[in-house]
Structure 1
Amino acid sequence: MSKKEKFIDLKEIIRKKSPALARFMPWFVLNYLRRIVHEDDVNDFISRHGHQMGLEFVYAIMDEFGVNLKVIGEEKIPKSGRYLMASNHPLGGIDGIAFMSAISRVRKDFIFPVNDILLSLDNMKEFFIPINKHGSNAENVRLFNETFASDKLLLYFPAGLVSRKKNGLIRDLEWKKTIITKSKQHKRDIIPMYMDGRNSNWFYNLANFRNKLGIKANLEMLYLVDETYKQFDKTMHIIIGDPIPWESFDRSKSDLEWAAMVRDKVYELKKEHNL
């Protein structure tokens, strides 16, 4: 019997990033990391669906996890026009897939700025561009600006990080001002969107414990794949709000303050629909 092909090899990834770390990492640590990133599960999924591209791959992930998607306000998804859809980021994996799946019911010409790890997923690369971070190379900055200037629909997680739990409430961290700056620059109205969902208490407790210790590294992010594999057979609600005209982002507030206002609008959608 031939050995199964490894599409994702954690040991090889670590070796390429840090040969010294790979050489001295104890086997039990490597095995633990393999378990929490679900190396075998991910490789099994890719072996079955790696030939599918674009939305076919998105729908295959939704089917694999048995996500029951309920979209409230689907008629508010614009069939055309240069909009920016801004959502909270509750889960860190399946929520991005659900975002694309929901929007594709109405419109398929969307682009999603994402981090470096997701850019390596060839199956969905037609939808992705790199997030414009400080220190990004000139090509990434050019692509980011060209995309905002295009007629494509922009999907965005303005927090950039997964929601955390504070004082008993699960909410996004600070939203970056980029959505406001780019909204005004490219005359894109912003459509607020709310997604329900939560990670495990373990995830939130680890994040809070890390903060108390003053550790800056987001250790809890190591567990996001593991958190994703706890999301089987869930019903996910998505609520689409009314567009906020780009002209409303005037000088009465800073761009950062306007971003916080849009975030508040997102959580108002949750209250309005008793979720």
Structure 2
Amino acid sequence: MDQQRRIVRPAELAKASHMRPGDPRITLLTEVSGLRKLERVYNEVGDRHGDDFVRVLLEQLGVHLEVDPDDLARVPKQGGVAFVANHPYGAVDGLALLHVLSGVRPDLKVMANFLLQQLEPLADSFIGVNPFEQLKVRSSFQGMRAALQHLGEGGALGVFPAGEVSSYRTELKAVADPRWKAPVIKLIRQAGVPVVPVWFDGSNSFLFHVLGMIHPDLRTLALPKEMLRMKGRKVRIRIGRPIPAAEVGAFTDTERLGRFLRAKTYALGSGVQVRREQFRPLRFPKEPKPIVDPPAQELLEQEVAGIEDLKVSTQGEFDLYLAPSERIPAMLRAIGRAREETFRAVGEGTNKAIDLDEYDLYYDHLFLWDREKKRLAGAYRIGDGRRIVRRYGKRGFYTHTLFRMDRGMEKVLGQAFELG
């Protein structure tokens, strides 16, 4: 076995770190970034190939994967299919996706950054896209074309539409993917295949996110060391139900489809339900549908008891909370039900079974809880303009469905709150 196998050649590291080839600092950077130690782990794995290589590499790294067998049973066993996933860790996400799904889909290829393609035993399992280049650059464009061809031939493809690892988003005050890349979403829609959302729980270290706030390149160069820090870590993976190709193809707006797929993915980490109807343009049924049943009272009370940290104020028997949708899936159902019931009474309902839309998934909800009667007393949703602009641009605002806005409005919206 060749003990000199490299994950990244010095010339590639020089390009990634904006240094000249031969710069003496590259050797130091190789050590500091953890690349040298990671390469030693890589060489210890031996001459294995395919899933055997992935399994042993994950064992050497000390990473333990947890996935429900019922989730795996949902995976289509044949035909073209795209798996879309969040990207919290880096290379481990790609390796985990291969390991978990290859038993069901041995034809799986993962669209990942060019670093993973340097793993020779897995060169055929990855379709490379360079994170240091834009998608319009030749090497990345070729990767997109290869991915589309693989899907067209009935293959399975795993993608991380963010194109980069999740990082701390100051506007969200949380770790999350950046805005998902439109070219990847277009590719999925063009392929005309079912889509399966996959969600990885967790994130990289605090230091990783601090480095990223200093400069994005520092975050990228820290990824090898983050892999080494995962020793003993359990990574929980959720696999959602396949979204039919017809449902994906029904979206004519790429941004709206991207928001839908992202919401379906992140919803796997919470109890929030995401439906295609929430992402349709404003068209309501002519005939009113029966209003959905209320959530179980016990669930509502448990949920309220679990968000004491989100309580804004108390007056008399009322408690006021400001909560994101993922913390209140049962309450969100109660809010949507109450909206429809209330507005129908004055002839302004949507006529849908529940009045919830895509904005409810990422707006915050200000709601009043009657502590004595143990029920919802009122609610209003609030969109944080800074957060919405960073994630979705002007199209992320409900107001955008009512008015035409030029691009200059984003500066204004980024300093506003949308209420309604």
User: Which of 207, 211, 220 is matched with 1:206 structurally?
Assistant: 211
d(CA) in 2 for partners of 1:127 and 1:252?
30
Match of residue 47, structure 1, among 37, 43, 47: 43
CA contact (8 A) 1:116 1:130 kept: yes
Residue in structure 1 matched with residue 271 of structure 2 by the alignment: 272
Provide the C-alpha distance between the structure 2 equivalents of 1:109 and 1:21, rounded to a whole number of angstroms: 39
Percent identity of equivalent pairs: 24
Q: 1:265 & 1:155 partners in 2: Cα distance?
A: 16
Q: 1:155 and 1:105, CA in 2 relative to 1: closer, same or farther beyond 3 A?
A: same
Task: Tell me which of the two structures has the higher relative contact order, counting C-alpha pairs closer than 8 angstroms and 6 or more residues apart.
Answer: 1
2:136 to 134, 137, 140: 134
SS in 2 for 1:165: strand
Q: Does 1:31 align with 2:28?
A: yes
Change in 2 beyond 3 A, CA 1:186/1:9: closer
Structure 1 residue matching 2:27: 3-state secondary structure: helix
Question: Residue 129 of structure 1 aligns to a residue in which SS?
Answer: strand
2:55 is the counterpart of 1:59: yes
How far apart, in 1, do the equivalents of 2:59 and 2:13 lie? 33
Residues 164 and 253 of structure 1: is their aligned pair in 2 closer, same or farther, counting only changes over 3 Å? farther
SS at match of 1:58: helix
Offset of residue 220 of structure 1 = 1.2
Counterpart of 1:213 in structure 2 is none
* Alignment partner, residue 148 of structure 1: 151
The residue aligned with 1:109 is 107
Tell me by how many angstroms 1:117 deviates. 2.4
Deviation of 1:100 (Å): 0.9
Contact 1:90 1:198 in 2 (8 A): yes
Q: Does 1:158 align with 2:161?
A: yes
Selected match of 1:168 from 148, 173, 186: 173
Q: For 1:112-155, what per-residue CA distance to the aligned partner results, in whole angstroms no more than 9, with x for missing partners?
A: 12222222221101211233921225865653332121111111
Distance in structure 2 (CA, Å) of the matches to 1:145 and 1:11: 29
Partner of 1:100 in structure 2? Answer: 98
Contact 2:81 2:151 survives alignment (8 Å): no
Report the counterpart of residue 119 of structure 1 in structure 2: 117
- 2: CA distance between counterparts of 1:244 and 1:238? 18
Match of 2:235 in 1: 236
Larger-gyration structure (1/2) = 2
Q: Where in structure 2 are the equivalents of 1:54-93 lying within 5 Å?
A: 54-72=50-68, 73-93=71-91
Q: Within 2, Cα distance between the matches of 1:185 and 1:9?
A: 33
Query: Equivalents in 2 of 1:207, 1:87: separation in Å?
Result: 21
Q: Which runs of 5+ in 2 are unaligned?
A: 273-325, 328-420
Structure 1 residue 24 displacement after superposition: 4.5
Q: 1:85 to 1:161 in 2, by over 3 A?
A: same
CA distance in 2: counterparts of 1:15 and 1:179, whole angstroms: 26
| SS at structure 2 position matched to 1:155 | strand
Aligned-partner Cα distance in 1 for 2:58–2:22:
37
Q: Provide the rounded CA distance (Å) in 2 between the counterparts of 1:195 and 1:66.
A: 17
Q: 1:209 to 1:124 in 2, by over 3 A?
A: same
How many correspondences in the alignment? 262
Aligned residue number for residue 200 of structure 2 = 195
Q: Quote the offset at 1:259 in angstroms.
A: 0.8
Render the CA deviation track for 1:190-230: whole Å, top value 9, x for unaligned: 111101121111111222233xxxxxx53210000011111
Pick closer, same or farther for the CA change 1:119–1:267 going to 2, 3 Å: same
Q: 2:5 aligns with which of 7, 10, 13?
A: 7
Alignment partner of 1:84: what SS?
strand
Q: State the alpha-carbon separation in 1 of the partners of residues 138 and 32 from structure 2.
A: 32
Q: Give the superposed CA RMSD.
A: 2.9
How far apart are the structure 2 equivalents of 1:267 and 1:52? 34
Matched, 1:180 2:185: yes
In the alignment, the residues of structure 2 paired with residue 157 and residue 169 of structure 1 have an alpha-carbon distance, to the nearest angstrom, of 19
Relative to structure 1, the CA distance from residue 141 to residue 44 in structure 2 (aligned partners, 3 Å threshold; closer, same or farther) is closer
Distance 1:96 1:70, change over 3 A: same
Secondary structure of the residue that 1:46 maps to in structure 2?
helix
Deviation of residue 251 (structure 1)? 6.7
- Matched with 1:214 is none
Contact 1:206 1:220 in 2 (8 A): yes
What letter is aligned with 2:201?
D
- Closer/same/farther in 2, CA of residues 141 and 181 from structure 1, 3 Å limit: closer
Which residue does the alignment assign to 1:223?
A: 222
Show structure 1 runs of 5+ residues with no match. Answer: 211-216
Aligned 8 A contact 1:130 1:144 in 2:
no
The residue that corresponds to 2:247 in the other structure is: 248
- Preserved contact between residue 15 and residue 21 of structure 1 (Cα < 8 Å): no
